[in-house]
Structure 1
Amino acid sequence: MTIAMKTELTAADIVDNATFDAQRKEKQAELRTHKTHRRVDVGPFASFFFESWFTMWWQIQEMLRVEGGGEEQLADELEAYASLVPNGRNLTATMMLQIADPVRRARELSKLGGIEHAVVLVIGGEEVRGEAEDDLDRTTADGKASSVHFFLFPLSDKQIAALKDGSAEVQLRITHDNYNHIAILSDEQKKALAADLA
């Protein structure tokens, strides 16, 4: 099983900080290669980062390294991130609305309330609506969107087969009234995502 195909992240997978520090540089280089084709930009400032066992393992290891919270922190980090590991029948992604200028960012986010319900993956013409993680309200009461969102895309057998075959067109869409954009995934991107599927 490759790193990308592991479907569950547990405490047993996490190494102590000293071990992680010893292998960090090598793992960081592996991670850069692993993530090369896992980013999909949709429109001018929405970027999706498709997650995997490896990206979530790295996230937890880095949090433990920086904060040094030990066993108690590990339990919290696993609760926060383990659900973002694809289970072989779904894809998961973090969407970031990346606007450097704070004034423009506040203005744009104020127009994007509900964007977490407007994300669709289309595989060979079949739509898979992104299921937004509901641990927190990602839109405030006054209609302002968060700049970070997490999604799960549950796939059918047919959609999995089409993605693994590689011949089907795959689109990622945002259909919000104030942000309506489509990205067509490259062959390299489709191959990277297919590696997460059973």
Structure 2
Amino acid sequence: MPPLKRSDLYTLETYAVERDAFRARVLAHKKRRKLHLGPHITLLFEDRLTIQYQIQEMLRIERIFEPDAIQDELDAYNPLIPSGRDLRATMLVEYPDMEERARELARLGGIEHRVRIEIEGHGRATTFADEDMPRSADDKTAAVHFLRFAFEPAQIDALRAGASLAVAIDDPRMPLRVEPDADTRRALLDDFA
């Protein structure tokens, strides 16, 4: 997927008019791209539309309209758009209770490095966590991580040919494995060029 450019974005004025309709479209789109690995871990697989929404909201909230500042936002968010050979996801570690969240984030230190995508008969995609900056300390993890799953061409071909796909956490502290439904699987396959 090509990176976003300034010309792809709404101006603040246009976004104010279009926001409700655009937001509804993005939220419907995100439903197909969201995968709950369990009650406390969710992956949102990003693409050009989800990232445009994030940028538009940031520009709106911060009232950013200067070209250089807009470019800074594009530079920060464009790395979250899949390249055509990978999938990119925001990983959310969600505990509504503050005390439980603090306790679990401490218990799950490094969990972001244990998330896997398995391709039937073709091993695992290579996982990279938080390439932009570390978000965990030795004694705890963060509530939000950015993951990139790099695929070999043969793995992509196998998925296109119908091989099953599973997302797993390979860690005894939270062993989880989920196969996306057909709708989510199709959305993810669309990310490969």
TM class by shorter chain equals over 0.9
Is 1:139 aligned with 2:142? no
- Counting only pairs closer than 5 Å after superposition, residues 1-198 of structure 1 correspond to structure 2 as 6-70=1-65, 71-125=67-121, 126-141=123-138, 143-165=139-161, 167-198=162-193
For residue 101 of structure 1, report the CA deviation from its aligned partner.
0.2
Letter in 2 for 1:85: I
How far apart are the structure 2 equivalents of 1:147 and 1:23? Answer: 31
Conserved? CA contact 1:64–1:74, under 8 Å:
yes
Structure 1 residues 164 and 21: CA distance shift in structure 2, 3 A: farther
Conserved? CA contact 1:119–1:129, under 8 Å:
no
Letter in 2 for 1:51: E
Secondary structure at 1:56's aligned position in 2? helix
Q: How many residues align?
A: 191
Secondary structure at 2:160's aligned position in 1? helix
How far apart are the structure 2 equivalents of 1:123 and 1:33? Answer: 27
For residue 114 of structure 1, report the CA deviation from its aligned partner.
1.1
Identity among equivalent pairs (%): 35
How far apart are the structure 2 equivalents of 1:156 and 1:136? Answer: 25
How far apart are the structure 1 equivalents of 2:160 and 2:185? Answer: 8
How far apart are the structure 2 equivalents of 1:134 and 1:86? Answer: 14
For residue 104 of structure 1, report the CA deviation from its aligned partner.
0.5
How far apart are the structure 2 equivalents of 1:144 and 1:72? Answer: 35
Letter in 2 for 1:33: A
Unaligned runs of 5+ in 2: none
How far apart are the structure 1 equivalents of 2:120 and 2:69? Answer: 42
How far apart are the structure 1 equivalents of 2:111 and 2:75? Answer: 25
TM-score if structure 1 supplies the norm length? 0.90
Unaligned runs of 5+ in 1: 1-5
Q: CA RMSD in A?
A: 1.5
For residue 177 of structure 1, report the CA deviation from its aligned partner.
3.1
Return structure 1 stretches of 4+ with deviation > 6 angstroms.
none
How far apart are the structure 1 equivalents of 2:108 and 2:115? Answer: 12
Letter in 2 for 1:67: E
How far apart are the structure 1 equivalents of 2:36 and 2:104? Answer: 17
Letter in 2 for 1:38: R
Task: Give per-residue Cα distances to partners, 1:95-144, cap 9 Å, x unaligned.
Answer: 00010000100111101111121111012242113211232222124x11
Conserved? CA contact 1:42–1:48, under 8 Å:
yes
How far apart are the structure 2 equivalents of 1:40 and 1:102? Answer: 23
